[in-house]
DNA sequence: ATTAGGG
DNA sequence: CCCTAAT
């Protein structure tokens, strides 16, 4: 009987459980959601190589060269007075191993700088669409600096509107953050990432107000996934004014491009900001491969082990990646948002929790495993491993997370081992807890407040009159299909407050006054549906009743 | 994924 | 709005 060694690279793999939740991008989209047009595809490896190349470019001194990675090319822009930096030959692949260390604590280890100009947004989008990945969701995070060792030096002054908003973020040293992940056979089931449940518990035990907000937040990840995060605080007033000045009746408005109006009005208003040639300098310290679990027979050769590890990494990188961006612990999904809006160009302290991550490009077309970058050797070894696993009866000495090991080889699809990376390791380091989060930071975590306009209230009331108070999903579809920022939870909450508002005296009400007529309807509908909970289940009341209700 | 309800 | 718990 061949015993297996379970090798685990990295030793603090579980230190960040709260961040272990995998992206939900995989999940089925809500019906009322709009589909995002597919992006171009490109070779993930090439991408990584490109990124790596870019990152390896700089030495400590040359801080001002601007290296922008655009798909398969590396575009360099050099400030007049700076020494150009040699570009890494494109053919040179990133270093996957950290010399002297077991495994690959970092794909790219040299301190380096990635300076991004205005066009960052576009560039990032270029990345965001690589191949795809069937059922595994590795994440690789490139943390930008770290709290403990990050030196945030502002080239400009601190004033938000100062003449120089440039921010230079860089880390002094390459402090070693461990990584973890698993290698597991490709199975139907997603990998046993760090248990959701456990994570939730941990999350639950953590009051977000007082603690770092995990960037994967159970529920929130659901709708924030699709309903973009709010704007930076600083811009809040500005946005509020916009939405306030426009009543949004999405139902009547029909399908329009989301936010088109907002964007356009924003442009004109924000012109003074945007026009200025402010740049944000970011330095991606390194991309790390998270914790990795490998099960391999004792009789396997060192060479095969090495290849296995290589295979794992390669698979992670080659199975389709896209770039994710995290700001203040929150994933920024809206690619159309500007850095300014996202807060990246704001004060320095916003950058301490900025992170890039490579995640599976699940939005795009799935690619058959055969097209991945598995080498023949790797496949051979993996096959060998699989066979051995079969021989050794079943069962994996591998405890916990690797419960799938036992099934190694039970499926034909398990020909290749798919490395699974726990998101935990990849997450950017949580904000430094030493310093209390500022109100601003806290607020930035929230979605922007968007008071319901009278028109929206009207739409909501009408929908509830017809559908009742227990079918918010339907209400959403029916009356707010195009209001992407209004989730059914929001609608439910709004109804709650409407009912409350209707019950209190007009003097106690705040905000834009809701016509009494509407409030009356709210109470009526509320009363009606309170009594007809039975019917509310599926059917809509006869129009006659509804009208009577109205 | 949705719903319900407290914070 | 946020967050959870329970569906």
Q: What 3 state SS string does A158-226 have?
A: CCCCCCCCCEEEEECCCCCCCCEEEEEECCCCCCCCCCHHHHHHHHHCCCCCCCCCCCCCHHHHHHHHH
What are the boundaries of each domain within chain A?
4-244+279-294+303-426, 454-549
Collapsing DSSP states into helix, strand and coil, what is residue A359?
strand
| Cα gap A295→A4, rounded to integer Å | 6
A489 CB less than 7 Å from any atom of strand C? yes
Report residue A48 as tokens.
Answer: 């990584």
Alpha-carbon dihedral angle through residues A371, A375, A380, A384, given to the nearest 10 degrees: -90
| Cα gap A24→A221, rounded to integer Å | 7
Collapsing DSSP states into helix, strand and coil, what is residue A174?
coil
The protein residue nearest B2 (Cα–C1') is A473
DSSP A15: S
A306 CB less than 7 Å from any atom of strand B? no
Nearest-nucleotide field for A207 (CA, C1'): C3
Contact A362, A39 (CB under 8 A): no
Phi, psi (deg, nearest 5) at residue A140: -130, 130
Collapsing DSSP states into helix, strand and coil, what is residue A400?
helix
User: Distance from residue A179 (CA) to nucleotide C7 (C1'), in Å?
Assistant: 36
A222 CB less than 7 Å from any atom of strand B? yes
CB atoms within 10 A of CB A224: 19
Residue A237 CA: distances (Å) to CA of A123, A230, A243, A364, A473 = 29, 12, 10, 37, 30
Residue owning tokens 């799938």: A404
Predicted pLDDT at A505:
93
Nucleotides of chain B touched by protein CB (<7 A): 1-7
Q: Name residues 486-515 of chain A with a Cβ under 7 Å from nucleic strand B.
A: 488-489, 492-493
User: Distance from residue A80 (CA) to nucleotide B3 (C1'), in Å?
Assistant: 59
The protein residue nearest C2 (Cα–C1') is A446
Write out chain A's pLDDT in tens, 550 residues: 333 333 333 322 222 222 223 333 333 344 444 333 333 333 333 333 333 333 332 333 222 222 222 222 222 222 322 332 222 222 222 222 222 222 222 222 222 222 222 222 222 322 332 223 433 333 333 333 333 222 222 222 222 232 222 222 222 222 222 222 222 222 232 332 322 322 232 222 223 233 333 222 223 333 333 333 332 323 333 333 333 323 333 332 332 223 222 222 222 222 223 334 677 777 776 665 556 667 788 888 888 888 887 777 776 666 666 677 766 666 666 666 667 666 666 554 555 566 676 665 543 322 222 222 222 222 212 221 222 222 222 222 222 222 222 222 222 222 233 333 333 334 333 333 334 456 666 667 789 999 999 999 999 999 999 999 999 999 999 999 999 999 999 999 999 999 999 999 999 999 999 999 999 999 999 999 988 765 555 566 666 566 566 6
DSSP A92: S
CB atoms within 10 A of CB A170: 20
Evaluated on CA atoms A463, A464, A465, A470, the torsion sign reads positive
A447 CB less than 7 Å from any atom of strand C? yes
Contact A217, A203 (CB under 8 A): yes
Nearest-nucleotide field for A536 (CA, C1'): B3
| Cα gap A286→A106, rounded to integer Å | 6
A483 CB less than 7 Å from any atom of strand C? no
A500 CB less than 7 Å from any atom of strand C? no
Contact A475, A488 (CB under 8 A): yes
CATH of A454-549, one of 3.40.50.1980, 2.40.160.60, 3.40.1640.10, 1.10.246.220: 1.10.246.220
């Amino acid at each position: 009987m061949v015993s297996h060694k379970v090798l685990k690279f990295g030793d603090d793999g579980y230190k960040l459980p709260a961040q272990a939740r995998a992206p939900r991008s995989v999940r089925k989209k809500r019906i009322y959601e709009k589909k995002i047009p597919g992006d171009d595809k490109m070779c993930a490896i090439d991408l990584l190589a490109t990124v790596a190349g870019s990152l390896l470019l700089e030495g400590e001194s040359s801080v001002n060269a601007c290296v922008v990675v655009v798909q398969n090319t590396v575009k360099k822009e050099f400030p007049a007075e700076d020494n150009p930096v040699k570009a890494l030959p494109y053919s040179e692949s990133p270093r996957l191993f950290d010399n002297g260390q077991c495994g690959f604590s970092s794909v790219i280890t040299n301190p380096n700088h990635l300076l991004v100009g205005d066009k960052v947004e576009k560039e990032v989008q270029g990345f965001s669409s690589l191949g795809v990945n069937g059922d595994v969701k590795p994440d690789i995070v490139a943390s930008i600096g770290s709290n403990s060792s990050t030196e945030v030096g502002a080239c400009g002054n601190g004033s938000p509107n100062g003449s120089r908003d440039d921010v230079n973020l860089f880390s002094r040293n390459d402090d070693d953050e461990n990584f973890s992940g698993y290698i597991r056979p490709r199975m139907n089931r997603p990998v046993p990432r760090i248990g959701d449940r456990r994570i939730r518990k941990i999350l639950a035990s953590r009051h977000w107000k007082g603690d770092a907000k995990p960037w994967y937040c159970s529920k929130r990840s659901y709708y924030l996934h699709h309903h973009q995060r709010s704007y930076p605080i600083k811009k809040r007033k500005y946005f509020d004014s916009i939405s306030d000045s426009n009543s949004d009746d999405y139902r009547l408005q029909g399908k329009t491009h989301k936010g088109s109006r907002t964007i356009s009005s924003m442009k004109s208003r924000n012109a003074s900001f945007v026009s200025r040639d402010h740049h944000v300098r970011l330095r991606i310290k390194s991309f790390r491969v998270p914790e990795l679990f490998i099960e391999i027979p004792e009789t396997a050769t060192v060479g095969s082990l090495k290849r296995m590890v290589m295979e794992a990494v390669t698979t992670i990188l080659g199975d389709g990646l896209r770039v994710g961006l995290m700001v203040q612990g929150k994933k920024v999904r809206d690619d159309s948002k500007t850095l300014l809006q996202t807060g990246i160009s704001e004060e320095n302290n916003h950058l301490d929790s900025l992170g890039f991550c490579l995640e599976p490009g699940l939005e795009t077309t799935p690619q058959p495993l055969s097209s991945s970058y598995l080498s023949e050797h790797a496949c051979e070894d993996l096959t060998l491993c699989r066979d051995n696993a079969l021989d050794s009866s079943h069962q994996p000495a591998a405890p916990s997370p690797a419960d799938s090991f036992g099934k190694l080889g039970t499926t034909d699809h398990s020909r290749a081992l798919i490395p699974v990376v726990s998101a935990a390791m990849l997450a950017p380091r949580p904000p430094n807890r030493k310093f209390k989060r500022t109100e601003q930071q806290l607020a930035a975590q929230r979605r922007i407040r968007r008071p319901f306009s009278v028109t929206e209230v009207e739409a909501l009331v009408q929908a509830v009159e017809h559908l009742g108070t227990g079918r918010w999903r339907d209400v959403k579809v029916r009356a707010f299909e195009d209001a992407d920022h209004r989730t059914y939870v929001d609608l439910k909450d709004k109804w709650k407050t409407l009912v409350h508002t209707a019950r209190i005296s007009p003097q106690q009400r705040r905000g834009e006054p809701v016509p009494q007529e509407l409030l009356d309807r709210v109470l009526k509908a509320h009363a009606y549906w309170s009594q007809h909970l039975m019917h509310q289940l599926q059917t809509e009341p006869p129009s006659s009743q509804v009208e009577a209700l109205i």
